[in-house]
């Protein structure tokens, strides 16, 4: 059997998921309510390309998040995944991003 063939749902080491499904959903919700992508990058500690794939439905990588949103609808999705912890991370990232934007 050749290495590198097929995809696994969860990697290990470098490729291990950095966020739980719940965290992914929380940051997806942040994008829905208009939080800037750069702030989500800071809050999640993921790279910009990963966040692009998370928030854009044209990529299949995070289709389970999008499917869950469609199943629950906006209000129930918010109740389930827009947790105080995610909100705090976003607020902290907004504060971190604000001085950088003001200095330009």
pLDDT in tens, 28-87: 999 999 999 999 999 999 999 999 999 999 999 999 999 999 999 999 999 999 999 999
83, 31 Cβ separation under 8 angstroms: no
Alpha helices in 9-83 (DSSP H): 21-32, 37-44, 48-55, 63-81
pLDDT value of position 18: 86
Residue ranges per structural domain of the chain: 19-97
Name 53's Cβ contacts closer than 8 Å, sequence gap at least 6.
59, 61, 62
pLDDT at 54: 96
Is residue 11 pLDDT above 80, yes or no? no
Q: Distance (Å, rounded) from C-alpha 40 to C-alpha 47?
A: 10
Confidence at residue 3, expressed as pLDDT on a 0 to 100 scale: 44
For residues 79-104, average pLDDT: 87
């Amino acid at each position: 059997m050749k290495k590198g063939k097929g995809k696994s749902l969860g990697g290990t080491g470098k490729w291990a998921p950095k966020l739980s499904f719940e965290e992914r959903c929380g940051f997806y919700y942040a994008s829905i309510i208009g939080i800037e992508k750069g702030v989500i990058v800071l809050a999640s500690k993921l790279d910009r390309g990963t966040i692009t794939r998370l928030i854009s439905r044209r990529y299949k990588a995070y289709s389970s998040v999008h499917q869950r949103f469609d199943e629950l609808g906006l209000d129930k999705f918010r109740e389930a995944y827009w947790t105080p912890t995610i909100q705090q991370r976003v607020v902290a990232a907004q504060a971190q991003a604000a001085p950088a934007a003001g200095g330009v």
